[in-house]
Structure 1
Amino acid sequence: MVHKENKWLVVKKKYGGLKDLWSFPAGFVDPGETVDEAALREVKEETGVQAAITGIAGLRTGVINDLVSDNMIVFYMEHTSGVLKPAEAEIIEVAYMTKEELVNDPKTSSMIHFFFSPKVEKGLTITETDPGRHFGYTSYKLFDNR
């Protein structure tokens, strides 16, 4: 969830269950990445925007067709640089829209409606730390509600 000047970064995908619907940029974690690194990369790839993570909005977990575990961390982010440029292979349109525009647009995904409901408030923050060299982590982050 990338925020800039009271607007939120959204995309319309060309495929899948979110085809032609406003949704947040999203994607999969590549080998050697942490989930937060993947989120930043996906935002840049899909939209042309660079962002910084400021916290966690929430988590989603599910199982697809009783076979595939599908988990997502939804991060709060702030726009740091870049101009809107959709990834032509997968994105129809990219835009910054207000909460009100999205809530009132029939082409808005259910996840956006959920995160813009009054019960959802800013939750967890991210802290980079070192648990000790003996674990072998090359990247290690904790998320808490300080």
Structure 2
Amino acid sequence: MASNKRGKVWLAAAGLVVSKEGKWLVVKKSYGGLKGKWSIPAGFVDEGETADEAAVREVKEETGLDCEVKGLIGLRTGVIEEVTSDNLLLFLLEVKGEGLISIQEREIVEAAYLSPAELMEDADTSVLIHYLIGLGKLQNLPGKEGLDPGNLFGYTTYKLFF
């Protein structure tokens, strides 16, 4: 059964970093359903942060790389065991500066930049990555900040990705 720690509605964020050479930053986690599989750095959105901020934080925590958001690629959504709504927003990120990979050894076994061809041939590549590569060109919905939604809901941060 899915963990109750986060309730029955989960919101996670992932950050896909594509190098100038077209290689994708991928990690192998040491736990969970993706243990030992190449996956995109990801984790749950914390209280007080936006989903795009969570993607940047997760990439930093798992790989040591400082990134900025370039846009929203898409949404993965599903229901686990007919109970838990599991939702992941996938953002396109770009590394700031040169950046060397430094893994978070508690959660990550390995991190690397691999080409889409290498990932397609590797049996340890996640289903999500296979699907994304199969699309060919990834969509990228750019973010917009600085909009004022008014006082109605009390937003302290407000961003749109369309």
TM-score grouping bracket, smaller chain normalisation: over 0.9
- Aligned residues: CA RMSD: 1.3
**Match of residue 132 from structure 2:** 115
**Match of residue 161 from structure 2:** 143
**Could you tell me how far 1:134 is from its partner in structure 2?**
4.4
1:55 to 71, 75, 80: 71
2:148 is aligned with 1:130: yes
**Match of residue 76 from structure 1:** 92
**What's the TM-score, normalizing by structure 1?**
0.92
**Could you tell me how far 1:83 is from its partner in structure 2?**
1.5
2:119 is aligned with 1:102: yes
Shift of the 65–120 alpha-carbon distance from structure 1 to 2, 3 Å rule, reads farther
**Could you tell me how far 1:105 is from its partner in structure 2?**
1.1
Distance in 1, matches of 2:137 and 2:148, equals 30
Gaps of 5+ in 1: none
Distance in 1, matches of 2:43 and 2:117, equals 25
2:106 to 89, 103, 108: 89
**Match of residue 2 from structure 1:** 17
**Match of residue 36 from structure 2:** 20
Count of residues in correspondence between the two structures? 144
Per-residue CA deviation, residues 1-25 of structure 1 (Å, 9 max, x unaligned), is: 1111211110000111111110000
Distance in 2, matches of 1:120 and 1:33, equals 29
SS state of the match for residue 61, structure 2? helix
**Could you tell me how far 1:121 is from its partner in structure 2?**
2.9
Distance in 1, matches of 2:70 and 2:131, equals 19
Gaps of 5+ in 2: 1-15
The answer as to whether partners of 2:92 and 2:140 remain within 8 angstroms in 1 is no
Letter of the structure 1 residue corresponding to residue 138 of structure 2: E
Distance in 1, matches of 2:38 and 2:108, equals 11
Shift of the 108–141 alpha-carbon distance from structure 1 to 2, 3 Å rule, reads same
SS state of the match for residue 24, structure 2? strand
Per-residue CA deviation, residues 97-124 of structure 1 (Å, 9 max, x unaligned), is: 1111111111111100011113653231
Distance in 2, matches of 1:116 and 1:134, equals 41
Distance in 2, matches of 1:55 and 1:16, equals 27
**What's the TM-score, normalizing by structure 2?**
0.84
Structure 1 runs (4+) deviating above 4 angstroms are none
